[in-house]
Amino acid sequence: MNMLKKIMHLDIATFIAFLAGKKIPILDQGQIHFKTFGEEQKPSIEHYKQFILPNIHKYEEQRINLLKIFRIRCFLFIPILITILTLSTLWYYLMDAYGITTEIKNYTMGTGLLLGVAVLWVYAPVSKYKLAIKSEIFPLIFSFFRGSLIYQVKSDFPLKSVLSSGIIPLYDYKFMEDSIKGTYKDVKLHLTQATLEIANKAGKNNTRKTIFKGIIIQLSMNRSFYGKTIVRKDAGVIGNLFGKQFETLQNVKLEDPVFEKQFEVYASDQIEARYLLNPSFMERLIQLAKLFNNEPIQCSFFENSLLITISSSKDYFEPGSIFAPATFEEDINTVLEQMHLIFQIIDILKLNEKNRL
């Protein structure tokens, strides 16, 4: 069920109604409504008509056709599932009867592989539609920012260059997607989604363990910090992952009880840390946590950058439901809301000022 909701962005009731033959909602441009999240983001209807509108009829036609294919494959999946389970069960009892225990393990792996291939085949029309939107429509949505931000599906985030921040754990494998890069008020911004894994060397099986999944945001500015200031949410995690580098920092106590309850602060320079973590910044960081459903947030002021990590199992910057008409209203409003709060962080910290602390 979790995979179903992740891929299709829908609730179970909607999916059941769809399989039962409920009519697919069609395009109605009169229902489009954009939200405003600040002076820097006022989506104009003229901009929408110039860049987005020419594409929606093509995507609406594609959406309806792919939904029809998807519905057919959902029903075909039932006999496919029965066939796989029947053959796998017969194979299991045959191997068990001859006492071939090694083949029983292969049976389990083989069954899972076949089911996985079948599920991917069923979801292929939905995945195709969403990938097309991310590749072609999302860059157009980010053009609402007047060319200051560029979006691409494949990430080129320089992860190794921010390891000195102290909040990126050591990893063996990385998987990154969704790159948002550009400037806001002379502050360079680079955002990506990442999954970091380490090899689990215990035992015979070559397995992996996820140590971070979420969003990484780097804000580069025209000034440098004297030391390093780290804000973390989950006590005990950083100490285990970052070792001696973290142990050299001092614990900083702040006067805001709400912030102290949610976050812990460690720094190499207490005076600088208190200057950076002013009441406005602490309030905005709490709001950022709320926007991302109170997911664990960490940030690090180091060198000339502020690095923010948001741990989350959710996939952000994903297209809306394939069951919604292709106006891209939901996608535009979601992008504007998420980027607005990032811009507010920059405004409050005044990261565009060139003077040093």
Report the pLDDT value the prediction gives residue 249, as an integer from 0 to 100: 84
Does a structural domain hold residue 56? yes
Of 95-104, 178-187, 233-242, 286-295, give the range with the top mean pLDDT.
178-187
Count structural domains, the chain.
2
Which of 142, 163, 191 finishes a domain?
Answer: 142
Mean pLDDT calculated for residue range 181-199? 90
Question: 309 and 11 in contact (C-beta within 8 Å)?
Answer: no
Q: Which range marks the domain in which residue 51 is found?
A: 2-17+42-142
Amino acid at 165: S
Question: 215 and 316 in contact (C-beta within 8 Å)?
Answer: yes
Which of 185, 237, 229 is CA-nearest to residue 354? Answer: 185
Does a structural domain hold residue 346? no
List the single range of 76-80, 141-145, 198-202, 311-315 with lowest mean pLDDT.
Answer: 198-202
- If one compares 84 and 13, the residue with the highest pLDDT of the two is 84
Report the pLDDT value the prediction gives residue 3, as an integer from 0 to 100: 47
Cα–Cα distance list, 18 to 21, 50, 75, 118, 133 (Å) = 5, 33, 12, 20, 22
Mean pLDDT calculated for residue range 109-126? 82
Within this chain, do residues 314 and 167 fall inside the same structural domain, yes or no? Answer: yes
Sign of CA dihedral 40, 9, 11, 323: positive
User: Would you list the DSSP string of 175-224?
Assistant: EEEEEEEEEETTEEEEEEEEEEEEEE-SSSS-EEEEEEEEEEEEEE-SS-
d(CA 266, CA 284): 19
Confidence of residue 107 (pLDDT cuts 50, 70, 90): low
Does a structural domain hold residue 207? yes
Which of 133, 95, 141 is CA-nearest to residue 320? Answer: 133
Does a structural domain hold residue 34? no
Does a structural domain hold residue 22? no
d(CA 313, CA 295): 9
Assigned token pair, 212: 């971070």
Collapsed DSSP state (helix, strand, coil) of residue 310: strand
Q: What percent of the chain has pLDDT over 70?
A: 74
Written in H, E and C, the secondary structure of 249-307 is CEEECCCCHHHHHHCEEEECCHHHHHHHCCHHHHHHHHHHHHHCCCCCEEEEEECCEEE
Say if strands 187-200 and 173-184 run parallel, antiparallel, or are unpaired: antiparallel
d(CA 42, CA 44): 6
Within this chain, do residues 210 and 255 fall inside the same structural domain, yes or no? Answer: yes
Within this chain, do residues 167 and 257 fall inside the same structural domain, yes or no? Answer: yes
Report the pLDDT value the prediction gives residue 4, as an integer from 0 to 100: 46
d(CA 46, CA 56): 15
Within this chain, do residues 231 and 124 fall inside the same structural domain, yes or no? Answer: no
Within this chain, do residues 156 and 122 fall inside the same structural domain, yes or no? Answer: no
Within this chain, do residues 244 and 127 fall inside the same structural domain, yes or no? Answer: no
Within this chain, do residues 183 and 235 fall inside the same structural domain, yes or no? Answer: yes
The kind and range of the H/E element at 92 are helix 53-97
Amino acid at 222: N
Report the pLDDT value the prediction gives residue 212, as an integer from 0 to 100: 92
Amino acid at 149: L
Contacts of 101 (CB under 8 A, 6+ apart): 95
pLDDT at 165 over 70: yes
- If one compares 114 and 97, the residue with the highest pLDDT of the two is 114
Collapsed DSSP state (helix, strand, coil) of residue 162: helix
What does the DSSP 8-state code read for residue 161?
G
Which of 171, 176, 141 is CA-nearest to residue 156? Answer: 176
Which of 142, 158, 185 finishes a domain?
Answer: 142
Amino acid at 24: I
- If one compares 267 and 348, the residue with the highest pLDDT of the two is 267
Which of 142, 161, 176 finishes a domain?
Answer: 142
Report the pLDDT value the prediction gives residue 237, as an integer from 0 to 100: 46
Within this chain, do residues 106 and 242 fall inside the same structural domain, yes or no? Answer: no
pLDDT tens string 76-99: 988 888 887 777 777 666 666 666
Report phi then psi at 324, rounded to 5: -95, 145
Question: 356 and 223 in contact (C-beta within 8 Å)?
Answer: yes
pTM here is: 0.76
Question: 277 and 229 in contact (C-beta within 8 Å)?
Answer: yes
Within this chain, do residues 213 and 309 fall inside the same structural domain, yes or no? Answer: yes
Helices (H) then strands (E): counts for the chain: 12, 9
d(CA 204, CA 211): 21
Report phi then psi at 203, rounded to 5: 85, 180
